[in-house]
């Protein structure tokens, strides 16, 4: 299936941003997030950052570059979304009082009818919305493949290219239909051999292992309650043979924990371990219900976690032990999760949510997570989940020029930034003081307006407007697709 391309903005040339606060997120750890500048510069050339620092850009930096005045703004690395199901944009607002299993049971019969054009419309709208909330790299975990349709996986990849985001599509699969004791209807599950072949084909066609890649594919069977142990094991072997990363859902709800203990005589984490699904090449969505042994095992094996606070709260699933995971050395990224379980899908909002839910859950209360740690989750933690530390998630020379420039001089943000003083530090490396704390304004405050979003040095958002696709047309397309799916 072919989809029309929008005209690209075509000015990804050299660029200098000056006079802005900068949080580089270039530190060694989540509790030491690195250098910050009160009024600094970022120089971009050839899609990469060539200079970052305090004061004006060096004389002669990027000759002929476009210059952007960042006065009143905070520059951060572009945010990284580590878990999503873009097609669910079409089924928001349903099953409002349901827990995960009931919610899935209500929605599967609708999703069974989805086609490539609908996925493309939902992905364009969803990725456009993500870009407008500061996201420069997103995943999409797609596991609904109606029989005979071969264009569904490609449809989201085409949408990401149009919107201009770096994209990590995760080829999902399910082989445990209702008749075999699973949750999904039989017509939407694949046979194990069929799923393995289609996943290998998706990697062969779309995965780009080269530095600076715009598309990298992960192997991602859906979850332990919709996938057989045979397929989970063979998918892990396939991914490792192809040199790509592994992703799935794990330990999301109490129901899943009980199901796993009942059917496998294991906790979800023990079961994943037994299947070869813990390791440095694995990132797992949710991980709400982990015991101490599981946290230790994740740390020892180098397994990463995609934390999805809004979705977990919406479905009443619980709150992941983020503080414990971070202290154990487990990389944790942020995810908006599917549009039908988060309903919001703004990644900047997840910084705020992560901060709040960690403080509600933990006996350490307000010390459970700082504003800078929340920003670390959305940047460095995300890069670790996707195996891209050293490429994205921090602002330093040589990194890809994925940059978000937030306005923190609005009425709401300015008040937080300027009032943040030495008596209210938001983290060990906080520069809060008489000149304020723009990171606190970004994370504690309402979502900040986006002045500029660069992906590989190319502007995708400018002054709050998407530059790559017509958002009104995307909204019309997604409305039409939703109506078609509902009939």
Binding site for Zn ion (CB under 5 A): 337
CB of 346 to Zn ion, least distance (A): 17
Listed in sequence order, the residues at least 6 apart from 57 whose beta carbon sits closer than 8 Å to its beta carbon are: 16, 18, 41, 43, 51
- The nearer residue to Zn ion, 256 or 337, going by C-beta atoms, is 337
Contact 422, 436 (CB under 8 A): no
Name the pairing type of β-strands 246-250 and 48-54: unpaired
Listed in sequence order, the residues at least 6 apart from 427 whose beta carbon sits closer than 8 Å to its beta carbon are: 31, 33, 370, 371, 372, 373, 439
CB of 279 to Zn ion, least distance (A): 20
CB of 174 to Zn ion, least distance (A): 13
* Structure tokens that stand for 211 in this block: 């530095």
- Residue count of the chain, please give it: 487
Scanning the structure block, which residue is given the tokens 């008040």?
Answer: 415
CB of 195 to Zn ion, least distance (A): 18
- The nearer residue to Zn ion, 317 or 460, going by C-beta atoms, is 317
Q: Give the Å distances, CA to CA, from 93 to 96, 152, 253, 344.
A: 6, 23, 20, 10
- The nearer residue to Zn ion, 189 or 401, going by C-beta atoms, is 189
Q: Tell me the residue number closest to Zn ion, measured at CB.
A: 337
Name the pairing type of β-strands 450-455 and 79-81: unpaired
CB of 253 to Zn ion, least distance (A): 12
- The nearer residue to Zn ion, 84 or 361, going by C-beta atoms, is 84
- The nearer residue to Zn ion, 247 or 372, going by C-beta atoms, is 247
Phi then psi for residue 73, to 5 deg, are -120, 160
- The nearer residue to Zn ion, 26 or 337, going by C-beta atoms, is 337
CB of 478 to Zn ion, least distance (A): 20
CB of 155 to Zn ion, least distance (A): 18
- The nearer residue to Zn ion, 337 or 350, going by C-beta atoms, is 337
3-state SS, one letter per residue, for 352-414:
HHHHHHHHHHCCCHHHCCCHHHHHHHHHHHHHHHCCCCCCCCCCCCCCECCEEEEECCCHHHH
């Amino acid at each position: 299936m072919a989809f029309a391309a929008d005209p690209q903005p075509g000015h990804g040339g050299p660029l200098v941003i000056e006079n802005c606060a900068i949080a580089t997120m270039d530190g060694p750890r989540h509790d030491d997030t690195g250098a910050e500048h009160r009024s600094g510069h970022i120089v971009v050339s050839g899609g990469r950052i060539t200079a970052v620092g305090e004061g004006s850009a060096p004389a002669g930096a990027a000759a002929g570059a476009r210059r952007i005045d960042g006065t009143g703004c905070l520059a951060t690395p572009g945010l990284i979304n580590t878990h999503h199901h873009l097609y669910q944009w079409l089924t928001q607002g349903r099953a409002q009082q349901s827990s995960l299993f009931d919610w899935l049971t209500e929605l599967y019969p609708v999703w069974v009818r989805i086609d490539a054009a609908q996925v493309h419309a939902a992905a364009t709208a969803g990725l456009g919305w993500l870009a407008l909330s500061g996201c420069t790299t997103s995943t999409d975990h797609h596991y609904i493949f109606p029989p005979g349709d071969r264009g569904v996986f490609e449809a989201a990849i085409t949408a990401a290219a149009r919107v201009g985001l770096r994209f990590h599509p995760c080829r999902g699969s399910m082989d445990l239909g209702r008749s075999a004791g699973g949750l999904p209807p039989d017509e939407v599950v694949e046979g194990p051999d069929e799923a393995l072949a289609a996943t290998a084909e998706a990697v062969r066609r779309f995965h780009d292992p080269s530095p600076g890649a715009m598309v990298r594919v992960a192997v991602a069977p859906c979850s332990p309650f919709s996938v057989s142990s045979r397929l989970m094991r063979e998918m892990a072997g396939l991914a490792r043979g192809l040199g790509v990363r592994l992703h799935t859902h794990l330990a999301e709800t109490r129901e899943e924990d009980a199901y796993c203990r009942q059917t496998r005589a294991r906790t979800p984490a023990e079961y994943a371990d037994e299947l070869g699904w813990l390791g440095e090449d694995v990132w797992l969505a949710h991980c709400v219900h982990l015991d101490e042994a599981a946290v230790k095992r994740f740390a020892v094996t180098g397994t990463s976690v995609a934390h999805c606070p809004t979705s977990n709260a919406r479905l009443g699933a619980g709150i992941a032990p983020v503080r414990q995971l971070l202290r154990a050395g487990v990389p944790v990224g942020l995810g908006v999760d599917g549009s039908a379980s988060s309903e919001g899908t703004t990644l900047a909002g997840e910084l705020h949510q992560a901060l709040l839910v960690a403080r509600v859950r933990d006996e350490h209360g307000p010390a459970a997570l700082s504003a800078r740690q929340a920003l670390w989750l959305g940047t460095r933690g995300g890069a670790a989940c996707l195996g891209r530390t050293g490429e994205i998630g921090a602002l330093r020379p040589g990194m890809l020029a994925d940059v978000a420039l937030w306005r923190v001089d609005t009425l709401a943000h300015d008040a937080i930034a300027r009032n943040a003083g030495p008596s209210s530090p938001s983290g060990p490396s906080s520069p809060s003081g008489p000149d304020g704390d723009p990171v606190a304004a970004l994370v504690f405050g309402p979502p900040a307006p986006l002045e500029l979003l660069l992906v590989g040095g190319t502007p995708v958002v400018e002054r709050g407007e998407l530059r790559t696709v017509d958002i009104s047309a995307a909204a019309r397309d997604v409305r039409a697709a939703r109506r078609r799916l509902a009939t």
